[in-house]
Structure formats: C-alpha cells, structure tokens
Amino acid sequence: FYAGQSGSQAIIETIFGWNNPSGRLPYTVNDLSSELPNFTDYHLTSKTGRTYRYLSYSTTVQHHFGDGLSYSDFNYTNLKPASKVSISPCDSLNVTATVINEGPVAGDEVVQHYIANPLVDGLIVPQVNLMGFRRIHLDVGKSQDVTFCMCPYSMSTVDNKGIRHIYPGTYAYTVGGHQAAGYISMHDVIENYFEVNGAVTPLQSCENNQITCSC
C-alpha cells in the first residue's frame, strides 16, 4: 500500500483525532497469499476464488471489500420491508434503513447495499453483489433514512451465453456499513429476504432493464 505524498499527513491527522476516517477498502485483503489462485490464473472461481464476489467462505480474510473504520459508531435499524415479500421477475423493490450515529463524534458513513441471488444449476452465481452505496454525514445522536432501489437488473444473473435472466427463488439483501461476510455480531448490518415468483425471465423483456432505476 502506497499512501502517496500526503499519506503521512493524513495518518497523523487520523491518529490524533483531527480527522474522522470514513473510507472503504476497494479490494479484499487475504490473510494468506497461499490461499490465492496462481498469479497466471484469472478464472474468478479458481481455488478459493477472486474478488469479494467469488471468494470462498473457507478463505481466511484480514479485511473484507468494503471494510472501514470510524471514530463514530453507526447503528442500523428499521429495515423496510420489515418482512419477506414476494414480487414478480420484472418488479422493482424499495429498501430503506435508518442509520443512527451513536458514537461520541460526528462523522461520515458509507452505507452499502448488497444482494445475493439464488444459486442456479449449471451457472456460476456470485455469492454477493454490491448494488449501491451512499455517503451520509450524521452529527452525534442524529439519524437518517437511506433508501436503495432494487431494479430487475440487480436481481439478474448472467447465463453461460452472457445473457441476463431473472430466476425465481429466494434473494438475500443487506444494508450496512460493510459486507455481512465474516462478522458474528452485526449492529451495523441488517439483512432480509424476498422471493421472486414466476418463470425464468430474460432481463431484456422487462420494461425497466437498465442498471439504474427509480422505484
């Protein structure tokens, strides 16, 4: 890791509390290099897998993609929908969570939204996908509702021909300050599920088939 010409100043300001950090890791830091695939093997699912999307749960990880530290303490609550819902393949779904700064100082939080699609026989399905994030600033004791829109694109899986389809089944999603992976106690990540009913549907047949959408 190379911090650049201003790295030492940033480290000093953070250590002495003049700066409240809020950055997030854009990659995974593995504990053992021996667990990584061969350097010349670029297949995402080789050995223990590459990137946070395909990394094996048996892999020892020091820091997960999306991890970060703060002098604030952010709590997540009031996830909506509050219970498991059922939708059709081309439907969108609004997800809202309340973020509260329960720490001693004001700070920024990077709210992250992940989704895990159901497994499909014969296809390589990522374990989890980052579908959105939002940076917010909260003073001590303050809260804010953060909403993400899950589009049909978010729920689609690429088949062996490179075509995206939406498959019926149970989908898991989280909203929090990091991934759910690797954490036993998570007051800063909340999780729920929803069900997609109906037949396998090509994404292109949905009227709302873009990466971004509005619910």
Question: In this model, does residue 207 exceed pLDDT 80?
Answer: yes
**CA 71 and chain centroid, separation:** 22
* Angstrom distances, CA of residue 106 to CA of 6, 17, 78: 24, 12, 21
Task: Grade residue 186 by pLDDT with cuts at 50, 70 and 90.
Answer: low
As a whole-number percent, the residues of the chain with pLDDT over 90 amount to 66
What's the whole-number mean pLDDT along residues 208-214?
80
Q: Quote the pLDDT of residue 206.
A: 94
What's the whole-number mean pLDDT along residues 175-184?
76
Question: In this model, does residue 25 exceed pLDDT 70?
Answer: yes
Lowest mean pLDDT among 50-59, 83-92, 180-189: 180-189
pTM equals: 0.90
Task: Grade residue 147 by pLDDT with cuts at 50, 70 and 90.
Answer: very high
* Angstrom distances, CA of residue 71 to CA of 53, 89, 136: 28, 41, 15
Q: Quote the pLDDT of residue 184.
A: 43
What does the alpha-carbon distance between residue 119 and residue 121 come to, in Å, rounded to a whole number? 7
What's the whole-number mean pLDDT along residues 23-29?
90
Q: Quote the pLDDT of residue 122.
A: 92
Closest CA to 91 of 155, 142, 186: 155
Closest CA to 50 of 127, 156, 152, 107: 127
Q: Which of the residue ranges 52-56, 144-148, 211-215 has the most confident prediction, judged by mean pLDDT?
A: 144-148
Helix residue spans in the chain (DSSP H): 7-15, 51-54, 152-155
pLDDT digits (tens, 9 = 90+) for 67-114: 999 999 999 999 999 888 999 999 999 999 999 999 999 999 999 999
What's the whole-number mean pLDDT along residues 148-160?
94
The 8 Å CB, 24+ separation contacts for 113-116 are 113/148, 113/173, 113/174, 113/175, 114/173, 114/174, 114/179, 114/180, 115/150, 115/154, 115/155, 115/171, 115/172, 115/173, 116/171, 116/172, 116/173
CB-CB contact of 191 with 116 (8 Å):
no
What's the whole-number mean pLDDT along residues 32-42?
80
What does the alpha-carbon distance between residue 104 and residue 99 come to, in Å, rounded to a whole number? 15
Which letter does DSSP use for residue 19 in this model?
S
Enumerate residues 6+ apart whose C-beta is below 8 A from 40: none
Q: Quote the pLDDT of residue 77.
A: 94
Task: Grade residue 33 by pLDDT with cuts at 50, 70 and 90.
Answer: confident
